[in-house]
Amino acid sequence: MNEPLKKYMKVGLIHFMAYPETMKGEGPILETLKKIVTDNYFDIVEVTWIKDKSVREKAAKMIKSGHMSVAYGSQPRMLTTGMNINHLDEEERLAALDSLKEGIDEAYEIGATGFAFLSGTYEEETKEESYQQLVKSTKELCAHAKSKGDMPVILEIFDYDLDKKSIIGPADLARRFAEDITAEYDNFGLMADLSHIPQLHETNMESLVPIKDYIKHIHIGNCVIKEGYEGFGDTHVGFGFDNSENDVDELVDFLKALFEIGYLGEGKRPVVSFEVKPWGDEDPDVVIANAKRTLDEAWIKLEL
């Protein structure tokens, strides 16, 4: 591709994955966030809960001063606590829902352009009941967000049988879900993630085409799905990790698919964010550099 990358996308980075010590809403949040804000490769940073209000205010101020956009990822609010918004027990569902509503409030507080979440685990024999719980919760989240402004609520699609085992899930169910929610709420969308597509046992086009009209956000990353190998599961290892699924060529194919479905195109500049995480004793800054080099090389190789 001869034209500049930034002409076609806003490149982002998920702060709490790149620096996982901040994932529980504590730790060196401001110090690590500054590394991203001062790197002009990135146009948007994705943060999660920040428990200390004063730290949250300083983070928001830093991001604004850096002339960046910010998005809010609530996934750690569920994954680090074991909460599940499609829990069949109503008390458990409401506890998870309350936490996510608090996340929406925080997202508005920091000026986020979107609020992302994930569906919870389920049992096959009660899958439809879990699905209906998810629909109910999501509509409540959309209503809460809509009462405060126009920030979209975005469900990230995860694996359904390998690691996170979230109900959403495969492309056909993701499409049904998006249709059910958008029939009532126009502030809802889906997020697809390159690192999750191999875990869904789908190709890029199998995963993206059914939901193309609902995609509002994209993540790019890597995974290991060969059992018994280091980094197995939804661990978001760096590109080219041993025995992993995604490197430069796979990213080229994914970018091409994003153009084919119309997510990327002239004059659009939607978000494409790296979701990468250090493995073992890897340095987060090295993993981030890996991601940037991989995208740059993929962009050079991309032919439309």
Q: What is the mean pLDDT of residues 272-288?
A: 98
For residue 1, being part of any structural domain is answered with no
Could you tell me the pTM of the whole model?
Answer: 0.96
Residue 145 is predicted with a pLDDT of 98
Residue 66 is predicted with a pLDDT of 98
Residue 51 is predicted with a pLDDT of 97
| % residues pLDDT > 90 (the chain) | 98
Residue 175 is predicted with a pLDDT of 98
- In tens, the pLDDT along 237-254 reads 999 999 999 999 999 999
pLDDT at 1 over 90: no
Residue 277 is predicted with a pLDDT of 98
Tell me, what amino acid is at 26?
E
Residue 296 is predicted with a pLDDT of 98
> Exposed/middle/buried for 264, CB within 10 Å: 0-12, 13-18, 19+?
buried
Q: Domains in the chain: how many in total?
A: 1
- In tens, the pLDDT along 174-210 reads 999 999 999 999 999 999 999 999 999 999 999 999 9
- The whole domain housing 140 covers 7-301
pLDDT at 267 over 90: no
Mean pLDDT of the chain: 97
User: Where residue 121 falls among pLDDT bands split at 50, 70, 90?
Assistant: very high
Residue 109 is predicted with a pLDDT of 97
Q: What is the mean pLDDT of residues 132-153?
A: 98
Q: What is the mean pLDDT of residues 139-161?
A: 98
Residue 249 is predicted with a pLDDT of 98
User: Where residue 304 falls among pLDDT bands split at 50, 70, 90?
Assistant: confident
- In tens, the pLDDT along 209-226 reads 999 999 999 999 999 999
Whole-angstrom Cα Rg for the chain: 18
- In tens, the pLDDT along 30-87 reads 999 999 999 999 999 999 999 999 999 999 999 999 999 999 999 999 999 999 999 9
For residue 270, being part of any structural domain is answered with yes
Residue 283 is predicted with a pLDDT of 98
For residue 235, being part of any structural domain is answered with yes
What CATH number does the domain containing 124 carry? 3.20.20.150
Residue 248 is predicted with a pLDDT of 98
Kindly list the distances between the CA atom of residue 21 and the CA atoms of 27, 76, 83, 112, 278, in Å, as whole numbers in the listed order.
6, 12, 20, 22, 11
* Tokens of residue 86, six digits: 């499609």
Residue 146 is predicted with a pLDDT of 98
Q: What is the mean pLDDT of residues 100-125?
A: 98
User: Where residue 23 falls among pLDDT bands split at 50, 70, 90?
Assistant: very high
Kindly list the distances between the CA atom of residue 57 and the CA atoms of 31, 67, 112, 171, in Å, as whole numbers in the listed order.
14, 16, 13, 38
> Exposed/middle/buried for 253, CB within 10 Å: 0-12, 13-18, 19+?
middle
For residue 265, being part of any structural domain is answered with yes
For residue 2, being part of any structural domain is answered with no
Q: Residue 276: in which H helix or E strand, if any?
A: none
